[in-house]
Chain A
Amino acid sequence: MRTFDLVVLVAFLVYIVWDGARHGRGVKDAKDYLLAGRRMRWWSMGLSVMATQASAITLISTTGQGFKDGMRFLHMYLAIPFAMVLLCATVVPWFHKAGVFTAYQWLETRFDRKTRLLASLVFLVSRALAVGSVLYTPSIVMSVGLGIPPWQSILAMGLLCTLYTAIGGATAVIVTDAKQMLVMMAGIVACIAVAWWKLPDDVGLRGVLDLAGAADKLQTFHVPANWREMLADKYNILSSLLGGFFLFLGYFGADQEQVQRYLAGSSVEQSRKSLLLSGFAKVPMQFVILLLGVLIWGHYSYSADPPFFRAHQIEAEIARREEAGDAAGASGLRVRLEELQGTHDALEGERKSAAAEFLRLRREGAQSGDHALDVPVVRLRGAEAGLAAVRKEGMALLVSEGLEKEGVDNDSDYVFTHFLKTEVPVGVAGLVLAAIFAAAMSSLVSPINSLATSSVVDVWWLLRGGPSAPAATVRATRIATVVWGVLATISAFWMGGVPIIEQVNKIGSVVYGSLFGVFILGRLVPRARGAVGAISLASGIATVLLVRQLSVEPELQTRWLGIAEPVKIEFMWFNLVGFVAVMAVGWLLSRFAPAAPPPAPASR
């Protein structure tokens, strides 16, 4: 890494830690520490909501998705504007009126203590499982960009974030998140500018978009052909607008990580507007980030790239073996790498030739649907499939040499870092690295802050039989912040494997639909009271786990349900399944429940 880039990065990290920690001085009571004194303006909370969701994963893994699969991943976010409007009409005013610190406190006012405890435990477990992934991601950048082992990066990030979150509380989280989001946006714009500038003059943006379209990389609105495809395909318009809708209702409406950001608003209006900022900006932002991946793909279609983006690890292993005197081992590995490079170069030649033919025909006036374009399009897609197979072989080589775990296929997570290291000019690379760290920090401090808050308010207060004194609450939450920060750091050492962004969303999809369902059940079904909340929530999650198992092991569908042609169900649908199961079980149980007076207010 170049010195100037390092200076930019270190200066940014020092500023963020100082800026976060200085807000610890203004903390007088629990409301100050947990909810930033409920003084926040909408734009500050809105940027924090966006920064919490947009992690380093968003920059690194999403760009890789754009490179590998094109823009289909955008389907994931299409339901956000609709989900935000529904949340503004429902939980935002409910939580404000109840004056709660956590979303789960509201459940006690409506159901009982058990429901509150179960919902908070579901949040604590699911968020704890995901938080390690968030911290693991920047270690990829560090290991490639700075040439240091990933564990050093994990340790540094974990400690810095824990430090300023523990001192400054929710104010530190929101204020630094907002600034980090602005840095992240600047980094994205800088990368787009560099990727655009690097495109060959005779191809340009228009040419690359045409080629990407021909390579089937610009599908942002995919309509499934039948119901089986609708369920089995991760990203199509129906899974997005139905499954994704409930995913985001759960994430923004029932996950304390996000709820705590907008509960800091000075009024319902401020909190609503903070959520609506994501409703307006999230889809365009993701579009731009995926487009960046497509532009990087366009750039590497015309310039030298490695056979796979983790090839540097094979080269390092060759050097290690040579140093250790294992000449035969080093030579064997070199031959296999050169074979991959040879196949890759041949396929890349074929892709360039097909691309040139395609662009020539387009310049001559051929339009979408013209049969003249069929041959170059088929050749282009064939070369693309071949290059993807080479990257898979590269990953298999890493696994066979013991450099990666079995079943791991995350080469696309290294595309962005390779581009950053080899193509982005000095100074700009420092800004982009700062943006990646901003993204990583903003999405790490929010879960640590909310895990600590829920541990104290929903678990510790219930165990001790009521709320503690303000000073004791602040002290306990600071201790819990340190504990969660350390646990997140430790769990990050075991992360890796499946493309990171999907891992995080898959964990969430098991619980989000059910969690949000129990809030709506509480409002729509007046007779659902007491333990009905906890039973419905547990039933919803159990149903999702069952459906997931049936999808993972399709033979169970035949054995248990007699389905001759088993159905695959992708994780986006789990959110809808959980929501429907909670509502159905809750409504059914409420039919048998005696009419009872509403429960006492929450123990706070």
Chain B
Amino acid sequence: MNDAAGSGGPPDDEAAGEARSRRAMGWALAWGFITLALLAWFTRAYEY
């Protein structure tokens, strides 16, 4: 927890928002790789 406005730091909700959005970015990155793996599997499963 930061010491909030007055000391020059960002307010709590801004820091929490930054942390939340960074977590979401991490999940999106993982989702990108999962998608690639699933599509590679799908193509292989129906390849004749």
**Chain A contacts to B: CB under 8 angstroms:** 74, 78, 80-82, 84-85, 88-89, 209-210, 212-214, 216, 218-222, 237, 267-269, 272-273, 276, 279-280, 283-284, 368-369, 373, 377
Contacts and interface: CB of A to CB of B under 8 A. Distances in A.
B42 A84 contact: no
Contacts of B28: 81, 84-85, 88, 276, 279-280
B35 interface: yes
B32 interface: yes
A221 B42 contact: yes
A379 to B, nearest CB: 12
Contacts of B18: 268-269
B4 interface: no
Contacts of B43: 218-222
A268 B42 contact: no
Contact of B24 (A74, A80, A218, A273): A273
The range of chain B's interface size is: 20 to 34
List the 10 closest pairs (A to B, CB-CB), nearest first.
A213-B46, A81-B32, A269-B17, A218-B46, A220-B39, A272-B21, A279-B28, A221-B40, A221-B43, A269-B21
A214 B46 CA distance: 7
A269 to B, nearest CB: 3
Contacts of B40: 221
A81 B38 CA distance: 14
Interface string B9-48: 0000010011011001100110110011001101111111
A269 B20 CA distance: 8
A542 to B, nearest CB: 32
A351 to B, nearest CB: 15
A81 B28 CA distance: 6
Contacts, number: 78
Given A213-B47, A218-B46, A280-B31, A78 B25 contact: no
B17 A81 contact: no
Contacts of B36: 78, 221, 237
A82 B17 CA distance: 21
Contact of A272 (B25, B35, B45): B25
A385 to B, nearest CB: 16
A209 B31 CA distance: 25
A76 to B, nearest CB: 13
A218 B40 CA distance: 11
B26 to A, nearest CB: 8
Contact of B31 (A81, A214, A221): A81
Contacts of A284: 35
Contacts of B47: 213, 218-219, 368
Given A210-B46, A368-B47, A373-B48, A85 B21 contact: no
Q: Which of A80, A220, A373 has the most CB of B within 10 A?
A: A220
B21 A273 contact: yes
A22 B7 CA distance: 43
29 contacts: A78-B39, A80-B32, A81-B31, A85-B25, A212-B46, A213-B48, A218-B46, A218-B47, A220-B42, A221-B36, A221-B39, A221-B42, A221-B44, A222-B43, A237-B36, A268-B17, A268-B21, A272-B21, A272-B24, A273-B24, A276-B28, A279-B28, A280-B28, A280-B31, A283-B35, A284-B35, A368-B45, A368-B46, A377-B48
A85 B17 contact: no
Contacts of A283: 35
Contact of A276 (B17, B25, B35, B44): B25
A537 B32 CA distance: 30
Interface-centre pick from A78, A84, A85, A273 (highest chain B CB count, 10 A): A85
